[in-house]
Amino acid sequence: MRRRVHDLYEIWAAAVRDLPSEHPETDLDFESWKRDDLEHPDLSDEGSFVALAGDRPVSLAFLTVDPARRLAYNQMTATLPDYRRRGLALMVKLASARWAAEAGIERLLTENDEENVGMLAINERLGYRPLYDQRGWAVELELPSAVPDESARSDESKRSSSV
Ligand SMILES: CC(C)(COP(=O)(O)OP(=O)(O)OC[C@H]1O[C@@H](n2cnc3c(N)ncnc32)[C@H](O)[C@@H]1OP(=O)(O)O)[C@@H](O)C(=O)NCCC(=O)NCCS
Sequence spans of domains, the chain: 2-162
| Ligand 1 atom with the shortest distance to the CA of 77 | 48
Q: Which of 62, 82, 85 to mutate to test the pocket of ligand 1 (most atoms within 8 A of CB)?
A: 85
The CATH fold assigned to 2-162 is Aminopeptidase (3.40.630)
Give 68 Cα–ligand 1 centroid separation in angstroms: 31
- DSSP 3-state assignment of 91? helix
- Is residue 49 within 8 A of residue 92, CB to CB? The reply is yes
Strand partners, 85: none
The answer to whether residues 125 and 91 touch, using CB atoms and an 8 Å cutoff, is no
pTM for the model stands at 0.87
One digit per residue, the tens of pLDDT, for the chain of length 163 reads 888 999 999 999 999 988 887 666 666 899 999 999 999 999 999 999 999 999 999 999 999 999 999 999 999 999 999 999 999 999 999 999 999 999 999 999 999 999 999 999 999 999 999 999 998 888 888 877 655 655 555 445 455 556 6
Distances (CA, A) of 134 to 114, 118, 160: 10, 19, 6
Q: Are 78 and 15 in contact (CB under 8 A)?
A: yes
Beta 153-162 vs 130-140: how paired, if at all?
antiparallel
